[in-house]
Amino acid sequence: MAELPNMIQDLALILVVAGVVTLIFKKLKQPLVLGYIVAGFLVSPHMPYTASVADMESVHLWADIGVMFLLFSLGLDFSFKKILRMGASPIISTCTIIFSMSMLGVCVGQLFGWAKMDCIFLGGMLAMSSTTIIYKAFDDLGLRQQQFAGLVMSVLILEDILAIVMMVMLSAIARGNDVGGGQMLESVMRIGFFLILWLVVGIFAIPLFLRSVRQLINSEVLLVVSLGLCCAMAVFSTKVGFSSAFGAFIMGSILAETVEAERIEKLVEPVKNLFGAIFFVSVGMLVDLNILVEYALPIFTLVLTILVGQAVFGTFSFMLGGESLKSAMRCGFSMAQIGEFSFIIASLGLSLGVISDFLYPVVVAVSVITTFLTPYMIRLATPAYNKLERRLPTKMTKLLNQVNIGSQHTQEKSKWKKLLTQMSINTIIYSILTSAVIAVMFTFVLPFMRKMLPGWHLHWYANAITGFLTVVLIAPFLRAMVMKKNRSEEFKALWAESNRNRFPLLFTILVRMVIAITFIFYICNYLSRFTNALMITIGVIVVLMIVFSRWVKHRSITLERLFIQNLRSRDIEAQVHGKKRPLYEGRLLDRDIHIADFEVPSDSEWMGQTLKQLNFGQKYGVHISSILRGGHRINIPDGDYVIFPGDILQAIGSDAQFTAFRDALEKERLGADTEIEKREMLLRQLIIGNDSPFIGKSLIESGIRDQYSCMVIGLEEGKESLSVYKPTRKFQEGDIIWVVGEREALDCLLHAAATNR
């Protein structure tokens, strides 16, 4: 018999141990992520008393896939549009946290006398909180609906993006290069270029593709297509120097804007849970008892540094972003751990040979310990705030929790600022798209054309054809760059207000035209040997032809409208099916009052009851503003509305009220049927004897249904099929009837039928 590969044996061991441990943790009401880490420690080679995995490389491969799918699912659940709506607050908080924790890590490393590069890389590791661990902890603790959780996830996503910049800078430091403004600016510009390019092209192309094949896609095909797009973007991301997890997150953010987003999220969830479990198990497998003992003091110090540092600097950073003291403390305490990006930074240092060998296992141990403590730190935030509130003066507490209501809604932006901001964004986006088209044409099309037209005399024809095709492709982008916003309300108002505004307005058009001419100049310069004066002249003529071309104008408007439609497709679908959020969501006066959705489980005790009977307002303090049922919205439901399984209750309340409401929703359930095997339905024949107590009674009088919980399905009269037994017919001696019921109920009925009165 063939022997199983080590990979299958390891997978069986991991899943069996993880299943047993997570059942124990579920029974103890502990977060499952901690159970996965304990399971990883039990099956690791460092644990001599239990069976251990044999092929660590395969486990690490599965773990990398787990991180990729976790971040893909995170992108589906938290798109970039949500971050943009939050404004500058998460950016301020992220930058402050990264700077503070990096400096703190460097100082701790120097305190232990470690090498300079060890200290620098340690600072980078301590600055990166774990997106996957916090996301899982929020999910297990039932906190994803709370307001502060959205703020934390915004900062974590920005941290993951800035981690790539940090890795570039650390690589430059390790190689002894200059890491001044030029290196940093180049890294930021590179990330911004690909980020905008992927989002714009992805939002334009992918919804268009899914819309064209919508009739052909079922759940199985959609799952395969979604994971294929995720893996393709992960591969492309690694090809341009980023991580696969970052690419998976980008693809998730793109798919989050499509109509199929919610369906994809549900289909991907089992895959995410499987590989995510393997990832967390792999983290536990990296725990080494020898390292824990030898470096116990540094590990303890680093754990304390992360817990206290994130609690203090994290809280301060979120307060700088405009959050109240209570909300900022909940956010800061939630980020007190390090995770997957810290491992990536440590691996980078090892691959470059610039950090000591002990640093990686130390960081892993710190990560595992802080991961264990993450749920408890999240729970500790509110008691810590309550204790701090009692000690602080009342005036200071009110000042720290002061809410500036409606400030950003009432302050009018200047017309110049709004116009220039819109023009700048458009110019950047269309410049990136134009650059991408030129790069693709010169990299792939130009060599192909030169191969098709070989020889020196045909070389110019290949260049000319490629140049012409390139200009045709970028023409809609160049026209939009030059002409967009020239007829906007702000432009017209500024033009009419004063003659002094007209020259600056014309100058904005001139600047954008110069940028467009520069692209044409670059194409001509790359493909020809014309003089600069001739190329500039050609550039001016081509740009003017593009600006005044009706075909280019029509094409540019069509592409822009299609992009906007794709970007709004999920919002349109939400409006059509009654799932769009109400407009008053952002205008709730109390900072702690917000809106959250709760799905009624299929086994909830609430189903079949009316809102009046459930009395949510009096019990939990929440108000049900809408019920989403079967793609329809029931707004302001009255007390007579009945709750059904699968209903999504849109509630208004505070975090504390939502916690009580969610706990009740989870607890008040019918639960699993522990004796389901006894519920088997059987079919039995019942013969009415001369001493049966049922003789002379009708079906209703016999109590077969009400007393014995059985059902008569027919009367046997020698025909091919059973006769329908009428409820008014009296049982007679010799009747042969067929009844259906559970085994115990049938036994009782047969015993009663054979017993004399």
CA 603/CA 666 separation, integer angstroms: 10
Residue 589 reports pLDDT greater than 60: no
- Specify the pLDDT at position 681: 87
Alpha-carbon torsion (376, 620, 633, 595), positive or negative: negative
- Specify the pLDDT at position 553: 77
- Specify the pLDDT at position 307: 93
- Do residues 566 and 201 make contact, with C-beta atoms less than 8 angstroms apart? no
CA distances from 351 to 187, 354, 662, 706 (A): 20, 8, 47, 76
| Choice among 94-103, 392-401, 489-498, 697-706 with the minimum mean pLDDT | 392-401
One-letter amino acid for residue 220 of the chain: E
Place of tokens 């249904």: 705
Question: pLDDT by residue (tens digit) across 162-188?
Answer: 776 777 677 767 766 544 555 556 666
Name the average pLDDT for the chain: 81
- Specify the pLDDT at position 632: 77
Query: 85 pLDDT band (50/70/90 cuts)?
Result: low
Straight-line distance from the first to the last Cα atom of the chain, in angstroms, rounded to the nearest whole number = 66
For 131, other C-beta atoms within 10 Å of its C-beta total 26
Residue 141 reports pLDDT greater than 60: yes
* pTM as predicted: 0.66
| Choice among 36-50, 187-201, 566-580, 726-740 with the minimum mean pLDDT | 566-580
- Specify the pLDDT at position 34: 75
CA 566/CA 202 separation, integer angstroms: 10
Nearest CA-CA partner of 349 in 116, 118, 176? 118
Nearest CA-CA partner of 601 in 702, 672, 652, 532? 672
CB neighbour list of residue 639: distance below 8 Å, 6 or more residues apart: 610, 611, 612
- Do residues 114 and 298 make contact, with C-beta atoms less than 8 angstroms apart? no
Q: What tokens appear for 200 in the block?
A: 């714009």
Output the CA torsion 489→494→497→500 (10° steps): -160
CB neighbour list of residue 272: distance below 8 Å, 6 or more residues apart: 66, 69, 70, 72, 73
- Do residues 105 and 125 make contact, with C-beta atoms less than 8 angstroms apart? yes
Classify 524 as helix, strand or coil.
Answer: helix
CA 563/CA 181 separation, integer angstroms: 35
Query: 86 pLDDT band (50/70/90 cuts)?
Result: low
For 620, other C-beta atoms within 10 Å of its C-beta total 21
CB neighbour list of residue 353: distance below 8 Å, 6 or more residues apart: none
Q: What is the DSSP letter of 728?
A: T
Mean pLDDT across the stretch 439-459? Answer: 81
One-letter amino acid for residue 145 of the chain: Q
**Length of the chain measured in residues:** 757
- Specify the pLDDT at position 107: 92
Mean pLDDT across the stretch 471-479? Answer: 88
Residue 747 reports pLDDT greater than 80: yes
Phi-psi region of 39 (alpha: psi -120 to 50; beta: other; left: phi over 0): alpha
Query: 673 pLDDT band (50/70/90 cuts)?
Result: low
* Nearest-10 crossing angle of helices 325-334, 147-174: 50
- Specify the pLDDT at position 305: 93
Question: pLDDT by residue (tens digit) across 512-543?
Answer: 988 888 888 888 888 877 666 677 777 778 87
Query: 231 pLDDT band (50/70/90 cuts)?
Result: very high
CA 665/CA 643 separation, integer angstroms: 12
- Do residues 670 and 737 make contact, with C-beta atoms less than 8 angstroms apart? no
Question: pLDDT by residue (tens digit) across 434-447?
Answer: 888 888 888 888 88
- Do residues 337 and 104 make contact, with C-beta atoms less than 8 angstroms apart? no
CA 515/CA 433 separation, integer angstroms: 13
- Specify the pLDDT at position 224: 92
CA 748/CA 704 separation, integer angstroms: 10
CA 452/CA 687 separation, integer angstroms: 91
CA 77/CA 470 separation, integer angstroms: 37
Q: What tokens appear for 261 in the block?
A: 């987003």
Question: pLDDT by residue (tens digit) across 350-366?
Answer: 777 888 878 878 888 88
Alpha helical stretches, state H, 261-295 = 261-285, 289-294
Output the CA torsion 62→63→65→67 (10° steps): 170
Classify 508 as helix, strand or coil.
Answer: helix
- Specify the pLDDT at position 563: 67
- Do residues 332 and 398 make contact, with C-beta atoms less than 8 angstroms apart? no
* Nearest-10 crossing angle of helices 56-77, 261-285: 140
Question: pLDDT by residue (tens digit) across 380-431?
Answer: 988 988 888 888 787 777 776 664 433 333 333 477 888 888 888 888 888 8
- Specify the pLDDT at position 580: 54
Alpha helical stretches, state H, 43-180 = 56-77, 80-86, 89-111, 116-126, 131-141, 147-174
CA 658/CA 636 separation, integer angstroms: 19
- Specify the pLDDT at position 309: 92
For 352, other C-beta atoms within 10 Å of its C-beta total 15
Query: 574 pLDDT band (50/70/90 cuts)?
Result: low
- Specify the pLDDT at position 11: 84
Output the CA torsion 170→176→181→183 (10° steps): -70
Classify 713 as helix, strand or coil.
Answer: strand
Question: pLDDT by residue (tens digit) across 50-80?
Answer: 777 877 777 878 888 888 888 788 778 766 6
- Specify the pLDDT at position 184: 57
Burial status of residue 6 (CB atoms within 10 A of its CB: 0-12, 13-18, 19 or more): middle
Percent above pLDDT 90 for the chain: 8
Classify 442 as helix, strand or coil.
Answer: helix
Nearest CA-CA partner of 433 in 403, 474, 471? 474
- Specify the pLDDT at position 338: 86
CA 39/CA 283 separation, integer angstroms: 10
- Specify the pLDDT at position 104: 93
- Specify the pLDDT at position 404: 42
CA 159/CA 331 separation, integer angstroms: 14
Question: pLDDT by residue (tens digit) across 243-300?
Answer: 787 788 888 888 888 878 888 888 998 888 888 888 888 877 877 778 778 888 999 9
For 617, other C-beta atoms within 10 Å of its C-beta total 13
Question: pLDDT by residue (tens digit) across 105-117?
Answer: 999 999 999 888 8
- Specify the pLDDT at position 602: 82
Q: What tokens appear for 407 in the block?
A: 């400030």
